[in-house]
Amino acid sequence: MPHCTAFPGSVVARLPSFATMRAVRRLPFLAFVVLAATLAAQQQQPDPTPVSAYDPLRGLDPDGRIPKPQYPSDLPHPERWRYTPPGRIKPGGVLDRFLVSSFLTPIVFHEEDIGFGGGLALTDVDFRSQRYREFANIVLTYSEEGQQAYKINWSRWLSVREMPDGGVLREERERLYGRAGYEKTLTRRFFGLGSRTEKDAETSYTEETTTLGFGVRTSLPDSGSDWLLRADLQGEHHGLSRGRVSAVPSTEQIFPALVDDGDGDDQLWLLLNFGWDTRDSLHQPYEGSRVGTFANLAWQSENDFGGTIGIDAQHVFALPPLLHRGGSGVEENPPTDVLAIGCFVEDTVGDLPYYSLPTLGGTHTLRGYIQNRFTDRAAAHASIEYRIGLIPRGITFSDTIRIERIGLGFFYECGTVAGGLEDLHDAKFLDSYGFGFRIAFSREAVFRVDWGYGDEGSNFTLAFGNSF
């Protein structure tokens, strides 16, 4: 392990104790109880908008096109405000708004070492029927052998304006965030440190993680400005035990010191991200650039201080449409083909357990490899993705139920990991490529299915949001 750097005792003394963090494990369960009560109350209480007054086509065309209304003249950076027409603001609870502003996805999986499993994922872009002021993503899964996950991610838009036509304008960037969760994963993989680890060096371990956090993202100096700051405070508890992958050794047999250092670790993270960002959207940009820096700093229960710091950049080009005709007149979220390029470099300071070090592979990086395939103290990564509109107006199932966009994505990625920034140039070059589908219920609610290919075979990814 790297040399330990102690943090000043006055700060460490304020860390949650091990007993406190064990108590925090109960919070996700309590949160879901509160959530269930909230949803039940929603279903019972009448919405202030009479159902008889709701018109699903008000403010949009029958094919799903949303004409953009006249924005207020004092609106700063109008390209960063999302317009929701009154026809998409359906009254009622989660079930009333199903496939309009709430989306329920069944999850079914099977793996020999964890058995059959399943669950539900709920994405609600009008959580608690607040006229598009709140968002929630909730995941609940369980398997035969006890692998499980219960997670809530919530956010609230800070800049919202009501429109005379009954629609809503939201500045996409400025939000409050909150999250809570408990996960028990029986089949975490670890291959060792470095870019030259072999596929047959695979080990497995069981990880129990409890997370509780909150944060804020704001534009500086004014709403919609190009300078963007996000700050989060997050507490985590990690418990490690024997892995359940039958065909490979358990991680503590091969890397006993790493597992011993990371087991039972409590971490208090300060997550900072600051950059110059001209993109017209953070979730599905059509043009613009970002150049930024990030610092994820952790105070840990063993009086250790550590973290990762880095820089990142993106640029997005709007391209002529390939399989469709593009937008029609002035409209909200016109179908647009883009070429997106992104990269980052990340390094570790101080001391961190192996599962908190920079990694490549999985959902957002080197998608042709399994999650966390390559791990070390420094990482570099670059991606290029061609996003093409396949069905530019989506699919309409009824006046209220529709998919707004269906598209394709073709990507190529490369990167590596090393013991430090100075060693990245000597590390092994790693790359992957692939394609996938993009299904958008709104510009901010994109579901992604990817198939990636690398030197070790293929990997399947199902995720919410673009990879970068």
Picking from 318, 297, 298, 343, the residue whose alpha carbon sits closest to that of residue 467 is: 343
* Number of domains within the chain: 1
Tell the residue number behind the tokens 């500045």, with chain if given. Answer: 171
When mean pLDDT is compared across 6-10, 178-182, 346-350, 462-466, the lowest value belongs to 6-10
How many CA atoms, within 13 angstroms, populate the side-chain half-sphere of residue 262?
Answer: 24
Across 125-139, average pLDDT: 94
151 and 180 in contact (C-beta within 8 Å)?
A: yes
Per-residue model confidence as pLDDT tens digits over 93-116: 998 998 889 988 888 888 888 999
When mean pLDDT is compared across 145-154, 217-226, 404-413, the lowest value belongs to 217-226
Q: What is the mean pLDDT of the chain?
A: 88
Q: What's the start-to-end Cα distance of the chain, in Å?
A: 31
- Give the model's pLDDT for residue 259: 96
Per-residue model confidence as pLDDT tens digits over 245-293: 988 999 999 999 999 999 999 999 999 999 999 999 999 999 999 999 9
CATH code, domain carrying 340? 2.40.160.50
- Give the model's pLDDT for residue 258: 96
Q: Three-state DSSP class for 217?
A: strand
Q: How far apart are CA 419 and CA 437, in angstroms?
A: 35
226 and 254 in contact (C-beta within 8 Å)?
A: no
Per-residue model confidence as pLDDT tens digits over 430-448: 999 999 999 998 888 899 9
Model confidence at 149: pLDDT above 90: yes
Per-residue model confidence as pLDDT tens digits over 22-35: 444 444 454 455 45
Q: How far apart are CA 8 and CA 15, in angstroms?
A: 12
- Give the model's pLDDT for residue 10: 30
- Give the model's pLDDT for residue 111: 84
Per-residue pLDDT band at 224 (split at 50, 70, 90): confident
Per-residue model confidence as pLDDT tens digits over 316-335: 999 999 999 999 889 999 99
Domain range spanning residue 325?
A: 5-464
57 and 86 in contact (C-beta within 8 Å)?
A: no
How many CA atoms, within 13 angstroms, populate the side-chain half-sphere of residue 368?
Answer: 18
Strands (DSSP E) contained in 252-391 are: 265-277, 288-300, 304-319, 331-332, 337-350, 359-360, 374-375, 378-391
- Give the model's pLDDT for residue 222: 85
Q: How far apart are CA 113 and CA 109, in angstroms?
A: 12
- Give the model's pLDDT for residue 19: 40
- Give the model's pLDDT for residue 16: 38
Across 389-415, average pLDDT: 90
What is the b/e burial string over 383-400, where b = at least 16 CB atoms within 10 angstroms of the residue's CB? bebbbbbbebbbeeeeeb
Model confidence at 182: pLDDT above 70: yes
- Give the model's pLDDT for residue 52: 53
Q: At 147, which amino acid appears? A: Q
Q: How far apart are CA 368 and CA 183, in angstroms?
A: 24
- Give the model's pLDDT for residue 67: 94
DSSP class of 302: T
Per-residue model confidence as pLDDT tens digits over 37-89: 545 444 444 455 555 578 999 999 988 899 999 999 999 889 899 999 999 99
